């Protein structure tokens, strides 16, 4: 009977994990992808927010609280997972002791080429100065598996026609004499003659907006259809994970006191064996 019950629960869990569930408009609206377990559940709304409900003994709700605090028990209603403004969740999972949500939307993204030493140095310096995680893509030649794969971006005789260097606040121009540029035709980039169009028509690079649409558009420009962008695609400032954790710790101490390590180790359920 026990084994059969476990099989039924497993099948039920698999069915529920494939469901699209409905969140009220106040919780992100419309359909949402759900992940479920026996003790808690998690949902990601189309807008990219994540919502959790159920047990909270180990902080599964993701809002900086735990159920050991009598004033903050687990929740039967969806609770928004606490993250920096602008972060969007793309994948979710739930287990016995955890709820897990994967967020996209990196705050720093850049690209360079290994042999372009000055440019690579600049990109890595900007990455090092960035507060938070920095993602840097480096095109690197491999003599064994892809020798010459990036010659279009490293050969001095052709790279000026195949690469556009991103500079914050400046138009996207390239070519030996900066005689070619990128402008938007609706929402699509196109290559134009920079000498015959107004500079105001060219796409101006901005690495600071909270919305990642421009960075994503640039990331889709690929050689040979377009010159491939090199430089900093995106560099935005926001709260980082370490600051958020320390903030949760400060809030917990202010609410519950500094805590007692010995009491935590001893717990409320100890006994003496004689």
Which residues, at least 6 apart from 113, have a Cβ–Cβ distance to it below 8 Å? 119, 120, 138, 139, 140, 150, 153, 154, 230
* CA dihedral sign, ordered 12, 17, 22, 27: positive
* Coarse DSSP helix, strand, coil percentages of the chain, rounded to the nearest 5 percent: 25, 30, 45
Ranked by mean pLDDT, the top range of 19-23, 28-32, 81-85, 215-219 is 215-219
204: which DSSP letter? Answer: B
Confidence of residue 264 (pLDDT cuts 50, 70, 90): confident
**pLDDT at 30 (0 to 100):** 40
Task: Flag the least confident range among 25-34, 91-100, 158-167.
Answer: 25-34
CB 202 within 8 A of CB 149: no
Which are the contacts of 52, defined by CB distance < 8 A and separation ≥ 6?
Answer: 40, 41, 42, 43, 60, 61, 62, 63, 75, 78, 79, 81, 99
- Position 208 scores a pLDDT of 95
pLDDT at 134 over 60: yes
More confident residue, 66 or 199: 199
Span of 1-15, 24-38, 223-237 with lowest mean pLDDT: 1-15
* Half-sphere exposure in the Cβ direction for 7 (13 Å, CA): 4
Residue 262: the pLDDT is 84
Sheet of 108-113: strand order equals: 135-139, 108-113, 228-235, 163-165
By the 8 A CB rule, do 61 and 53 touch?
Answer: yes
Report, as an integer, the average pLDDT of 118-137.
94
Over the stretch 20-36, which tens digit does the pLDDT of each residue have? 444 443 443 344 455 65
């Amino acid at each position: 009977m026990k084994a059969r019950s476990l099989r039924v629960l497993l099948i039920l869990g698999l069915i529920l994990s494939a469901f699209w569930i409905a969140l009220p408009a106040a919780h992100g609206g419309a359909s949402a992808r759900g992940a479920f377990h026996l003790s808690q559940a998690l949902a990601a709304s189309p807008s990219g927010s994540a919502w959790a409900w159920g047990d909270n003994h180990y902080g599964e709700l993701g809002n900086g609280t735990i159920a050991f605090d009598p004033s903050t028990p687990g929740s039967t209603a969806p609770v928004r997972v606490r993250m920096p403004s602008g972060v969007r969740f793309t994948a979710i999972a739930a287990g016995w002791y955890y709820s897990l949500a994967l967020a996209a939307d990196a705050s720093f993204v850049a690209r360079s080429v290994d042999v372009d030493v000055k440019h690579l140095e600049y990109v890595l310096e900007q990455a090092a100065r960035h507060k938070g995680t920095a993602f840097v893509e480096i095109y690197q030649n491999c003599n064994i598996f892809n020798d010459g794969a990036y010659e279009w971006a490293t050969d001095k005789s052709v790279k000026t026609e195949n690469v556009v260097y991103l500079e914050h606040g400046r138009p996207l121009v390239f070519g030996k004499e900066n005689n070619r540029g990128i402008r938007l035709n609706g929402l699509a980039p196109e290559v134009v003659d920079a000498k015959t169009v107004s500079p105001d028509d060219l796409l101006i690079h901005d690495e600071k907006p909270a919305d990642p649409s421009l960075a994503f558009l640039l990331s889709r420009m690929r050689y040979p259809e377009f010159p491939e962008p090199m430089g900093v695609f995106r560099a935005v400032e926001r709260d980082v994970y370490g600051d958020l954790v320390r903030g949760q710790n400060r809030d917990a101490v202010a609410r519950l006191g500094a805590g007692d390590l010995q009491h935590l180790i001893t717990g409320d359920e100890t006994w003496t064996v004689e």
